[in-house]
Amino acid sequence: MEAVWGSHKVTKLLASSFFLLGFGSNDLFQSRPKSQADVAALYATLVSNYSAAITDLYGMGARKFGIISPGPVGCVPRVRLLNATGACNDGMNRLTVGLAAAFKSGLATTLSPTRLPGLTYSLADSFAGTRANFDNPQAAGFMNADSACCGSGKLGAEGECMRNATVCSDRDAYAFFDNVHPSQRAAELGAQALFVDGPTQITTPISFKELAHQR
């Protein structure tokens, strides 16, 4: 880019660009804390690592960050499959809520204007923004919020979404496309909540819309 546009123009472009980051879901999938001390250590490590990643991007010229904390990872089909009743894993969801709170307090310190002048960010609580999809899926337009549209076996979660997998007839009626990822419709609703008409309480300290329009 610098070879084509020059370093000054690239610097201006990076500073005005909106960097959208999602953190934490895979870390929570792979974590098995056995005590509150383990949980506290996990949160501290993740906040430190994510802050370092954002600081690295800042050093490259990025200035505006939209940061999305994990959604209800305890409700994805792959996790539900481990529950005999197919219900959400409440313990994993509590871990997710705690990580969102740790993000909020930790990033407020590590990404402060005194440490990183010119940086602005908005942190989205994806758990709060998408939980309604599972509490009342019909109201969100979903006929199925516990199974994968594409997969095989129980909840469509026992097999991966591959060439010979079973695919539902209406993917927009499902909250999940495969056993861990949201459907296009679920992603669209999430984007609308964050950028267009969602409740302001799911983003802090400013909304994604305000952040995107900052000069």
Which tens digits make up the pLDDT trace of 126-185? 988 888 788 889 998 999 999 999 999 999 999 999 999 999 999 999 999 999 999 999
pLDDT digits (tens, 9 = 90+) for 88-109: 999 999 999 999 999 999 998 9
What pLDDT is stored for residue 11 in this prediction? 87
Higher per-residue pLDDT: 171 or 209: 171
Name the token pair of 41.
């250590």
% of the chain at pLDDT higher than 90: 67
Domain 6-213 has CATH 3.40.50.1110: yes
DSSP 130-191: HTHHHHSGGGGT-SEEEEESEEBSGGG-SB-S-TT-EE-S-GGGEEESSSSSBPHHHHHHHH
Closest CA to 186 of 86, 76, 85, 69: 76
Residue 116 has pLDDT above 60, yes or no: yes
What pLDDT is stored for residue 213 in this prediction? 85
Under the banding of pLDDT at 50, 70 and 90, the label for residue 199 is: low
pLDDT digits (tens, 9 = 90+) for 18-56: 999 999 999 998 888 999 999 999 999 999 999 999 999
Domain boundaries, the chain: 6-213
C-alpha distance from residue 179 to each of 62, 74, 99, 108, 195 (Å): 33, 12, 22, 33, 26
- The radius of gyration computed from the CA coordinates of the chain, to the nearest angstrom, equals 19
- Which pTM was predicted? 0.87
Task: Please give the mean pLDDT across all residues of the chain.
Answer: 91
Under the banding of pLDDT at 50, 70 and 90, the label for residue 2 is: confident
What pLDDT is stored for residue 133 in this prediction? 82
Higher per-residue pLDDT: 174 or 202: 174
Under the banding of pLDDT at 50, 70 and 90, the label for residue 198 is: low
Q: For residues 178 and 157, give the distance between their C-alpha atoms in angstroms, rounded to a whole number.
A: 7
The count of other CB atoms within 10 Å of the CB of residue 169 is: 6
Burial string for 77-97 (b: 16+ CB within 10 Å, else e) reads: bbbbbeeeeeebbeebbebbb
Name the token pair of 75.
């409700």
Under the banding of pLDDT at 50, 70 and 90, the label for residue 118 is: very high
Q: For residues 96 and 160, give the distance between their C-alpha atoms in angstroms, rounded to a whole number.
A: 24
What pLDDT is stored for residue 200 in this prediction? 65
